[in-house]
Amino acid sequence: MENNDGLVQNSNAEPFDKEKWAKQKREERKVVYQMIDDAAVAAVSSGEKFQAFLNIQAQFDRYSASNALLIAHQCPDATQLADFAAWKNTGVHIKKGACAINLLEPGQEYTNQDGTVKTSYKVKKVFDVSQTTALQKHETLVFHDKKLLLNALVDHRPCEIEVSDDLPERVNVLYQPADNKIYVRQGTDAEPLFRGLAQEIAKVHLKQKKLTCCNPAFTAYSVAYVLCRKNQLSCETFRFDRMPAEFGGMDAKSARQELGTIRRVSNVMIGDMNRVLDTHDRKQLQRENSNREER
């Protein structure tokens, strides 16, 4: 005989309340938006929290500044994120008691009452690899030599770069807006050269793209830190224990704008570098495969 108990139980179940569900989602988004505001204000008020934001932005360079703030606030040591289903599909399980990390994911576009088109957002719950049963990260870090990194950094340079022996003392790289050129001290070692070029190229992008920030020098300095950390270069010389005076008393909206500018410039520069590095890596892999076939 066919068992219809399940049908009877389902028929007695409470009907789906769309309005209640929508209200829950609105409240969920409200909590996350407030978390972003709080994290942004904290980031511009504390060198430690600001550096944590930069670390996350370097690790997850494609993520928005808002999501970087959310990660830095909820799981500052995160290295690899995926939702429950994605981890499960790789045979990895979430540890018991692990708290999900809330991010914002773009949804559908809609037209506002004033005719502007906007994007709706929904809360997406993800977990870091440290919250799973995975024994190690699935991603493999690729290390590039310093000469290649320098070539990648200047390949899409936004202005001319010249060698000069007429730079101020202890200055290895300098952008001169009047000449629209970056001057480099001859004989500068690779790592300080990369740091200096990254910082000065960031200044050029800020100027050319007419991006607003309260302290362009500090913004460029922060971008240089992101690029150095992204490319596994030493960050020991960077200091964030003294934040710019302009950051004092900054509200959430202004803080988000400052952090968003850092993300925008670093994202452009990382993208420019990746085009060179990806091409190099593909060619190297082809050579290695060809050599194996010849053996």
Identify the pLDDT of residue 6. 52
More confident site: 6 or 279: 279
270 phi and psi angles, rounded to 5 deg? -65, -40
In this predicted structure, the answer to whether residue 144 has a pLDDT above a threshold of 60 is: yes
Identify the pLDDT of residue 127. 98
Sketch the domain layout of the chain as residue ranges. 18-131, 146-294
In this predicted structure, the answer to whether residue 18 has a pLDDT above a threshold of 90 is: no
Contacting residues for 219 by C-beta, under 8 A, at least 6 apart: 202, 206, 213, 258, 261, 262, 265
In this predicted structure, the answer to whether residue 233 has a pLDDT above a threshold of 80 is: yes
In this predicted structure, the answer to whether residue 249 has a pLDDT above a threshold of 50 is: yes
Identify the pLDDT of residue 227. 99
The mean per-residue pLDDT over the stretch 167-177 comes to 96
In this predicted structure, the answer to whether residue 236 has a pLDDT above a threshold of 60 is: yes
In this predicted structure, the answer to whether residue 4 has a pLDDT above a threshold of 80 is: no
Identify the pLDDT of residue 8. 47
In this predicted structure, the answer to whether residue 274 has a pLDDT above a threshold of 70 is: yes
Q: Distance between CA 262 and CA 76 in Å, rounded?
A: 18
Q: What is the pLDDT of residues 49-108, one digit of tens each?
A: 999 999 999 999 999 999 999 999 999 999 999 999 999 999 999 999 999 999 999 988
Q: What is the pLDDT of residues 195-205, one digit of tens each?
A: 999 999 999 99
In this predicted structure, the answer to whether residue 178 has a pLDDT above a threshold of 70 is: yes
Residue type at position 85: A
Residue 263 near residue 225 (C-beta atoms within 8 A): no
In this predicted structure, the answer to whether residue 10 has a pLDDT above a threshold of 60 is: no
Identify the pLDDT of residue 112. 83
Identify the pLDDT of residue 290. 78
Measured between alpha carbons, how far is residue 30 from residues 37, 152, 184 in Å? 11, 41, 48
Identify the pLDDT of residue 181. 98
Confidence of residue 143 (pLDDT cuts 50, 70, 90): confident
Identify the pLDDT of residue 145. 95
